[in-house]
């Protein structure tokens, strides 16, 4: 059931049902034990990978850039800083003994203010700047991680939206996401750390390395793959203006750039997602066939 829900809805469910358990008490008890925090972080990552349809070895940064959620460590710190700001903005109250207390019974912080850094943290304007600085650092950290890995090169500097107004089926959308976020089923990813170039050879043509560019645009090892590609390109061209068609043809000699242009074409997101899904199905089917052949030889 969860796999059929849109990512936006799964994100809302996360914030409503999971996040409260992961941030409970963080406003007054900061993270000090790494091993304990990592257990909480594991829950967040596991849920987000499931929501995006990614595997357990997918890149971590995309879990945040593609959902809009904050890394748990940053979120817990921001909530703590936000609570401090709330206390500083609240009027001082007094208990029966005449002692000043904050809004939740916390001793009035001003009475403990000292010179230097601790005193600065009790200044409302300083805390506001601190909160903004943490958010800027978080954004810079995620962007640096995102742009620095070659596994996400198809998405570097890319901004797109589907302007067709047509709803893409969730299974196809997730297949496209897996391709763009380098969590696909191709050998260049699956055998990246377990085998050399020979192990990453294309299963269809037994020639080049089996990566996204090769399978999507170049491989001629299977007739049905070539037919799928021809149909995909024809559909994209029908959605393109004359200038866009010329641009695509100009990039024939640069397949990587051509693929970037294709997946970034706003009008063709629906078509591209369908193509990604069909290729994924083809790869899985080929893998299953090879597995059956190996089992047969073993017997």
What pLDDT, on a 0 to 100 scale, did the predictor assign at position 251?
93
**CA-to-CA distance for 190 and 193, rounded, in angstroms?**
8
Provide the angle, in degrees to the nearest 10, between the axes of the packed helices 255-263 and 242-250.
150
**Predicted local distance difference test score (pLDDT) of residue 238:** 93
Cα angle 170, 175, 179; round to 5: 145
Tell me what pLDDT residue 297 has.
Answer: 58
Question: pTM score > 0.85 for this model?
Answer: no
Q: How far is CA 266 from the centre of its chain?
A: 19
- Mention every residue, 6+ apart, whose C-beta is less than 8 A from residue 236: 248, 262, 265, 268, 271, 272
Residue with more model confidence, 233 or 111: 233
Q: How far is CA 283 from the centre of its chain?
A: 23
pLDDT at 74: 92
Going from N- to C-terminal start, the domains of the chain cover: 2-148, 170-298
pLDDT at 114 over 50: no
Q: What is the pLDDT of residues 175-214, one digit of tens each?
A: 787 788 777 878 887 777 666 677 788 989 988 999 999 9
């Amino acid at each position: 059931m969860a796999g059929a829900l849109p990512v936006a809805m799964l994100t809302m469910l996360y914030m409503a049902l999971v996040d409260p358990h992961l941030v409970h008490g963080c406003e007054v008890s900061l993270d000090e034990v790494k091993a304990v925090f990592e257990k909480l972080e594991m829950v967040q990552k596991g849920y987000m990978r499931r929501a995006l349809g990614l595997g357990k070895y997918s890149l971590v940064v995309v879990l945040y850039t593609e959902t809009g959620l904050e890394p748990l460590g940053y979120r817990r710190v921001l909530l703590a800083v936000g609570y401090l700001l709330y206390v500083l903005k609240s009027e001082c109250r007094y208990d029966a003994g005449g002692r000043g207390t904050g809004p939740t019974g916390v001793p009035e912080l001003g009475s403990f203010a000292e010179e230097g850094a601790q005193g600065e943290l009790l200044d409302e304007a300083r805390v506001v700047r601190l909160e903004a600085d943490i958010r800027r650092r978080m954004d810079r950290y995620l962007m640096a991680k995102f742009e620095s890995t070659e596994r996400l090169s198809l998405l570097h500097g890319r901004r797109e939206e589907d302007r067709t107004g047509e709803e893409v089926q969730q299974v196809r959308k997730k297949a496209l996401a897996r391709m763009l976020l380098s969590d696909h089923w191709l050998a260049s990813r699956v055998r990246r750390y377990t085998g050399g170039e020979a192990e990453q050879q294309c299963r269809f043509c037994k020639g080049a390395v089996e990566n996204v560019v090769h399978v999507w645009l170049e491989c001629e090892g299977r007739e049905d793959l070539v037919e799928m590609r021809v149909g995909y390109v024809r559909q994209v061209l029908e959605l393109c203006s004359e200038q866009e068609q010329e641009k695509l043809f100009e990039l024939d000699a640069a397949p990587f750039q051509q693929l970037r242009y294709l997946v970034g074409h706003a009008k063709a997101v629906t078509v591209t997602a369908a193509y990604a899904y069909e290729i994924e199905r083809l790869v899985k089917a080929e893998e299953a066939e090879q597995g059956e052949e190996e089992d047969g030889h073993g017997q």
